[in-house]
Amino acid sequence: MKRKLTIRHLVTLTVVLIGCCLAIPGAGEASRPAPLEDDPRLGQKLTLIHPRIYLGELAEKLATETGVSISVSEDRFPMGGIEVCCLVRDQPASLVMRCLAELYSTRGAVWSWRATESGGGRKYRLVALRTPAEAAGERRADIRRQWEADALEQYRVARLPDAERLRAAAQRPDLFGRVTRPGFWTSYLAAGELTEDEYRRALQGERIEVPRSRLSPATRERADAEYRREKRQDPQGHAGPVRTMLERDHGGLAPRLSIDPGSGGYTSVIDSWWEGQWLKGNDPEWRGWLAEESRSAMHRYLELGPKGAGSLGMTQGTREAWLEAVSVADGVSIIADVHTPTGRPGAMTGSFVRGSTPLDTLTYISASLGCYWKRSGDIWLIRRLDRLVDPRQYLVSWQTVRELRRAADRQDGLLDLEEVARVAALEPPQWAALAEEFPDAEPHRLDAWAPLFRLWSRLSPQARKDVLSPKGLRLSDAGISARRALLTAPGDSAWPGKQLAATDPTRCRFRLEPTTASVPTASPNAAGAPTGAPQKLDAVSPAWRWEVKIDDRVAGTTLFVRQKRRPLVTLRQPSATISRPMQ
């Protein structure tokens, strides 16, 4: 006899299942948001000065300092491979941890510390429920939709009669607050001379040109006046056609639409001003240069001038070096996400001076470096604006970096075949991220060699002995997986005999020979980094020679010069002693 399941039965079954889950070892230890301030062990005050450190490495240092199990999750993406600038002085560990989560959290993509209980006490793990690629893709699409809608609103208002246009612009100061200023207004109104189809095409990147004969008399008059201001040597001249240009804005959130009203100079009508307004509405806890306190700080800073505020002591340095100078000069704690992996320390030239307060100085530097900021407790958080749309496809797990460092330490700074093959298995953006510290990963060097290193990683122990022997290894004996790695690896350049090896691998042999090579040396600069200017004396460096034979005749050779690991540096060139700012 069949019995129907009633609501009472379902409730009873649910209760039993929950009880069973709680009884399973570990099921009751599911991670949960961690109240960091409730753990007295995290009340210890720490000083952590690391201008460039991986997030996973920083978590290990926090664990060492506090005696607490602290780690980052790399289950979904290589979180530990993010470079962070940590300049913390005498701050509680709990605040440092909370600031790290806040630094990388954005609206709709929150990072948090999760706690699990164990016999050794509470353990903490930093997690992100969404990968940077997921969050960046969705946010970029949202930003683009809003940007296009606002750009079309600008176009609509530009085509209104004068009185109506001013009233409409006054209703949207977030959108029209900048374009109504002198110098912007002419370009903005010139955009209204395009047809809607032309304007939409301009928003997609097509360069549009409107001949002078098609312009309205009012626009021609404004454009002529602008032209004569720009071209004073031609006071009777006339403006040319209106032109549009779409390019990437320095902030990286949205494109920048620029208009040349015919004077020969482009003026952006929707650019970083729009980005700042977007930031105010979508991430209000963070401050950009449009925030009221930031604008006041900027005005105070500019009023002091370079002599009145005191030097930061540099004329050139990385973003991390500039922030370190501020931290040292004013004794402030900073945690920042400002690094860009380019394969070398990116130096920024210029002259920053100190303001009357840390807020003044940090505001100006943040604006100049394309960053925005917030304050959490006594720690200033700074991150690049384009991090909001950065998929971070260049990240390499902290575990991989740590193991590469250990391998280099065992071999006087060099990586062996196993480690280089491990790097070659990564993607080119990851090579670039590693190249500053591990020069063997430089993309322009590794690209041609990547197929060989991938092949090496798939060879059997006997095949590895053969490829290192004087006779070499016949490609047909390498195995299907190894041959596929050599012949079909993406992005590799052609090597001698490749076409023949693909059709008749029995006629192709290859050999890998450890050797040495003479390489030009470069003199270091004040920061200890090579300047690129070679000296006359050559140095001898370990290398690998790759030799390909067809029918026992050498078809070609190439050389891979091995380079030692270089510790990460913050490039800077001192220019003056840091002085106290004038009030």
pLDDT in tens, 25-51: 333 344 566 689 889 999 999 999 999
In terms of pLDDT, which residue wins out, 111 or 582? Answer: 111
Give the list of residues 6+ apart from residue 436 with CB closer than 8 angstroms, or none.
341, 342, 343, 344, 345, 566, 568
195 and 237 together in one domain: yes
**Whether 149 contacts 156, CB under 8 Å:** no
Identify whether 122 is part of a domain.
yes
In terms of pLDDT, which residue wins out, 469 or 490? Answer: 469
Identify whether 182 is part of a domain.
yes
What's 106's DSSP letter?
Answer: B
Q: What is the dihedral of CA 454, 457, 458, 461, to 10 degrees?
A: 150
Of 111, 41, 108, the residue nearest 80 (C-alpha)? 111
Region 550-574: mean pLDDT is 82
- pLDDT tens across 96-141, in order? 999 999 999 988 889 999 998 877 788 999 999 899 999 998 888 8
For 337-373, letters b (16+ CB in 10 Å) and e give: bbbebebbbebbeeebbbbbbbbbbbbbbbbebbbbb
How sure is the predictor about 442, in pLDDT bands with cuts at 50, 70 and 90? very high
Q: What is the predicted pLDDT for the residue at 303?
A: 56
255 and 341 together in one domain: no
Q: Which of 330, 362, 392 marks a domain boundary?
A: 392
Degrees, nearest 5: CA angle 298-247-203: 110
Average pLDDT of the chain is: 79
Helix, strand, coil % over all residues of the chain, rounded to 5: 45, 25, 30
Identify whether 1 is part of a domain.
no
Report the CATH number at residue 68.
3.55.50.60
Tokens at 174, concatenated: 């977030």
418 and 557 together in one domain: yes
- Pairing relation of β-strands 121-128 and 69-72? parallel
Cα–Cα distances in angstroms (integers) from residue 546 to residues 165, 448, 449, 552, 554, in the given order: 70, 11, 9, 15, 11
270 and 334 together in one domain: no
Question: How many domains is the chain built from?
Answer: 4
Identify whether 528 is part of a domain.
no
Alpha-carbon distance of 3 to 279, in angstroms, equals 59
Degrees, nearest 5: CA angle 401-404-406: 110
303 and 335 together in one domain: yes
Identify whether 450 is part of a domain.
yes
What does residue 197 show for φ and ψ, rounded to 5 degrees? Answer: -65, -45
Degrees, nearest 5: CA angle 333-337-338: 105
Region 179-189: mean pLDDT is 67
Give the residue carrying structure tokens 């607490």: 68
Alpha-carbon distance of 377 to 379, in angstroms, equals 6
Q: What is the predicted pLDDT for the residue at 321?
A: 83
235 and 371 together in one domain: no
**Whether 555 contacts 497, CB under 8 Å:** yes
Tokens at 573, concatenated: 């060139």
Give the list of residues 6+ apart from residue 313 with CB closer than 8 angstroms, or none.
325, 329, 574, 575, 576, 577, 578
How sure is the predictor about 180, in pLDDT bands with cuts at 50, 70 and 90? low
Of 77, 131, 73, 82, the residue nearest 103 (C-alpha)? 82
Identify whether 343 is part of a domain.
yes
Q: What is the predicted pLDDT for the residue at 309?
A: 44
Identify whether 185 is part of a domain.
yes
548 and 431 together in one domain: yes
Of 556, 518, 557, the residue nearest 538 (C-alpha)? 518
pLDDT above 60 for 485: yes
261 and 295 together in one domain: no
**Whether 324 contacts 87, CB under 8 Å:** yes
165 and 255 together in one domain: yes
Of 266, 248, 255, the residue nearest 151 (C-alpha)? 255
pLDDT above 60 for 536: no
Cα–Cα distances in angstroms (integers) from residue 222 to residues 175, 176, 184, 262, 368, in the given order: 22, 19, 11, 10, 32
363 and 269 together in one domain: no
91 and 119 together in one domain: yes
**Whether 424 contacts 456, CB under 8 Å:** no
Identify whether 244 is part of a domain.
yes
Alpha-carbon distance of 450 to 421, in angstroms, equals 8
Domain with 344 in it: 290-392
Q: What is the predicted pLDDT for the residue at 489?
A: 59
